[in-house]
Amino acid sequence: MKRLVMAAIMVLSVVFLTTERSISADWAAEKMKDKPPVSGRVVETMDSGRYSYVCLEENDKKIWVAVYKMKIIVGQSMSFKPGVEMVNFESTTLKRKFDKIIFSTGPMDPEGTKSEKKSE
């Protein structure tokens, strides 16, 4: 009987945890859908670990974006998918604190994100 109860608890725990993550991921994706891309001219960039940190400037305003490491050239115009904004983020590898930074999943495709493309 104890084994049956323990097995039931384990199964329910896995189901609950999986469902909770799915709900959270769906909620986050839905929330990001309405945000505009982060765009501007690259004025500074640096790589650290698995990430590239990019400072974009548009209309005399600067914003930092972090993405998985990629080739970025200072002076080029770029647009990144919206992402999670963090305030007072400290990068231990860069030994630097960012007042505000957006963690994006990557650059926008030239014709929009893959999920926005129409299938033919």
Q: Does residue 79 surpass a pLDDT of 70?
A: yes
pLDDT at 118: 42
Are 66 and 53 within 8 A, CB to CB? yes
Better pLDDT: 1 or 56? 56
Q: Tell me, what's the pLDDT at 35?
A: 84
* pLDDT class of 90 with cuts at 50, 70, 90: very high
Mean per-residue pLDDT, 94-100: 93
Interval 47-58 mean pLDDT:
94
Residue 57 confidence class, pLDDT cut points 50, 70, 90: very high
> Do 51 and 68 touch, CB atoms closer than 8 A?
yes
SS3 of 33, please? helix
112: left (phi over 0), alpha (psi -120 to 50) or beta: left
